[in-house]
């Protein structure tokens, strides 16, 4: 019997309070994934085990945004080491690809990297991230941690409201543009009855279950150098892709030193390039030059928007794989450069070019345990289900991160063999006086650094609790002076911004403004969590 209600029609605004816990907390965009993380904690695992359990589960229960063929980044606070670690598990382009090869093979899309198919597929990093986190920090075997995800895939789980909405949108798009034989496995996997799933229908992904089991039992070796790698290689060759077994076998995730800026006594931490977290830090480095006595006023939003536009101008100009950047990216975060950019701001909206600093479809989750460990983790197929490619018989949906590469050899982010692209997914972490405050993140393509800036300011400048910091109406800079705002945004302030030169456009799509999570650890060890009200999010805790 079909229900009488439409679960995506929200007649009344809901109200959420922040959640308090002491033993552990897992915040995810899916209740099943949060439960998987909590299961790891209850069986003696730590926050790192919980993060891996939740991430693996999200590859099953939210395939509209991520999968086994995704990339991942993490910021990990180790209570034992009293140190924040960064993990970059984004994959490079295949060694067989190049600008000249793509153009000569006619694989480009009007002079740009295509969105779908094998060409924009880079080496997936998510399975390696699970293995690295488990090996370095985990208290449980990886195979045990991944059992809930395997169970969801094999036995089935109910389609949630926002998942059904995203599935329908993807199906409508893919049936128009993904028409070759290389896409047939995607439709067999995700629309076995010829239509997308509706809310409440049971979803089973048996091939996905088998692959997760193989990854868990081999600490991802099966994916990168075993049978799964050989299947990826075979399909890539069959359909004219560039990815090869050798690319997978050679892949290593990178442990990196997090970057940060001081913002009113808080250290806001991000993963360094090739991630775009530096854009959030650049904006905050500018905004710290101003005081913000009031949140809901046009001048506050104007300065946020202008700082974000400046940051993106620099990020789009300079940020790529750090081995290919023309400058040391730390220069972009110098305090004097933030002051220099702030001085360029006026009371009118402007379109900015990059400056010259002085020389010198994503899922986000966060976890914390009772011992003080905390994880900020993000994982993505980039655009929804990704490339539209599912490897035959594996359930592995591959990301399309290579779409962001430029085919102009003069661009910083131009395509090269073995190069990591500019990457949109970014985990965030707050510290104060060298002590951890907690993880946070907002997913959603180029919305992510904009969401980070808004959440950090909501917490630090305007003293909102984690739930309110996430619930506050959001804006998103799009291009030039075009800005979209949620329908809950103050329309009088929107009118004032319009008078200041911003082109303001209300947007009815809540998911376009990102989906976030946040945990704050109090001095007594109590955890305070907020979860995204714009999607199927949930907090599991004890």
Degrees, nearest 5: CA angle 293-295-296? 125
Rounded Cα–Cα distance for residues 177 and 54 (Å): 32
Rounded Cα–Cα distance for residues 278 and 272 (Å): 6
Residues 6+ apart with CB under 8 A from 169: 384
Residues pairing with 85 in the sheet: 76
Residues 6+ apart with CB under 8 A from 276: 315, 319, 422, 423, 424, 426, 446, 448, 449
Per the structure block, which two tokens stand in for 354? Answer: 């990059």
Q: Tell me, what DSSP letter sits at residue 178?
A: -
Contact (Cβ atoms closer than 8 angstroms) between residue 48 and residue 137: yes
User: What does each C-alpha distance from 23 to 19, 52, 332, 370 come to in angstroms?
Assistant: 13, 18, 39, 5
Q: How many residues does the chain have?
A: 542
Q: How much is the CA Rg of the chain, to the nearest whole Å? A: 22
Contact (Cβ atoms closer than 8 angstroms) between residue 244 and residue 94: yes
Report helix angle 298-318 to 277-287, nearest 10: 140
Q: Catalytic residue numbers?
A: 362
Nearest Cα to Cα of residue 315 among 288, 353, 344: 353
455: Cα within 13 Å, side-chain hemisphere: 34
Strands 482-486 and 503-507: parallel
Rounded Cα–Cα distance for residues 121 and 92 (Å): 9
379: Cα within 13 Å, side-chain hemisphere: 32
Nearest Cα to Cα of residue 371 among 13, 11, 47, 38: 47
Per the structure block, which two tokens stand in for 176? Answer: 């128009």
Nearest Cα to Cα of residue 443 among 519, 538, 384, 516: 516
């Amino acid at each position: 019997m079909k229900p009488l209600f439409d679960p995506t029609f929200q007649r009344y605004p809901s109200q959420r309070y922040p959640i308090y816990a002491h033993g552990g907390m897992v915040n995810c965009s899916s209740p099943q994934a949060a439960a998987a993380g909590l299961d790891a904690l209850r069986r003696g695992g730590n926050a790192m085990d919980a993060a891996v359990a939740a991430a693996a589960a999200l590859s099953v229960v939210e395939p509209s945004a991520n999968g086994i063929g995704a990339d991942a980044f993490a910021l990990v606070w180790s209570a034992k080491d009293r140190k924040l670690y960064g993990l970059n598990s984004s994959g490079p382009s295949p060694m067989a690809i190049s600008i000249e090869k793509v153009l000569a093979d006619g694989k480009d899309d009007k002079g740009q990297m295509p969105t779908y198919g094998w060409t924009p597929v880079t080496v997936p990093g998510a399975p390696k991230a699970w293995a690295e986190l488990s090996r370095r920090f985990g208290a449980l075997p990886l195979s045990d941690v991944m059992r809930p995800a395997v169970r969801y895939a094999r036995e089935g789980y109910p389609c949630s409201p926002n998942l059904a909405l995203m599935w329908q949108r993807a199906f409508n798009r893919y049936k128009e543009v993904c028409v070759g034989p290389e896409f047939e496995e995607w439709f067999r996997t995700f629309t076995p009855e010829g239509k997308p799933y509706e809310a409440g229908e049971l979803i089973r992904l048996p091939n996905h279950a088998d692959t997760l089991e193989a990854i868990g039992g081999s600490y991802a070796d099966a994916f990168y150098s075993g049978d799964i790698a050989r299947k990826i290689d075979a399909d890539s060759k069959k359909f004219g892709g560039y990815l090869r077994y050798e690319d997978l076998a050679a892949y290593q995730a990178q442990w990196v030193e997090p970057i940060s800026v001081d913002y009113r006594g808080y250290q806001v931490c991000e993963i360094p390039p090739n991630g775009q977290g530096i854009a959030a830090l650049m904006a905050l480095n500018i905004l710290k030059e101003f005081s913000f006595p009031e949140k809901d006023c046009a001048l506050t939003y104007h300065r946020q928007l202008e700082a974000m536009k400046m940051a993106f101008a620099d990020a789009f100009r300079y940020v790529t794989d750090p081995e290919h950047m023309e400058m040391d990216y730390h220069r972009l975060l110098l305090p004097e450069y933030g002051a220099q950019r702030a001085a360029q701001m006026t009371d009118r909206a402007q379109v900015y070019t990059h400056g010259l600093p002085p020389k010198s479809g994503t899922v986000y989750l966060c976890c914390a345990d009772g011992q003080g460990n905390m994880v900020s983790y993000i994982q993505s197929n980039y655009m929804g289900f990704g490339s539209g490619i599912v490897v035959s018989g594996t359930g592995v949906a591959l990301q399309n991160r290579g779409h962001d590469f430029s085919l102009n050899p003069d661009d910083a982010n131009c395509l090269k063999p073995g190069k990591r692209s500019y990457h949109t997914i970014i985990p965030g972490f707050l510290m104060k006086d060298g002590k951890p405050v907690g993880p946070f993140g907002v997913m959603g393509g180029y919305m992510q650094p904009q969401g980070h800036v808004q959440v950090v300011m909501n917490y630090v400048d305007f003293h909102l609790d984690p739930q309110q910091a996430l619930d506050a109406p959001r804006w998103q800079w799009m291009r030039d002076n075009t800005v979209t705002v949620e329908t809950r945004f103050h329309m009088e302030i929107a009118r004032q911004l319009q008078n200041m030169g911003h082109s303001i456009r209300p947007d009815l799509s809540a998911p376009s403004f990102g989906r976030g999570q946040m945990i704050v650890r109090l001095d007594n060890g109590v955890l305070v969590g907020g979860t995204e009200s714009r999607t199927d999010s949930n907090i599991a805790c004890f």
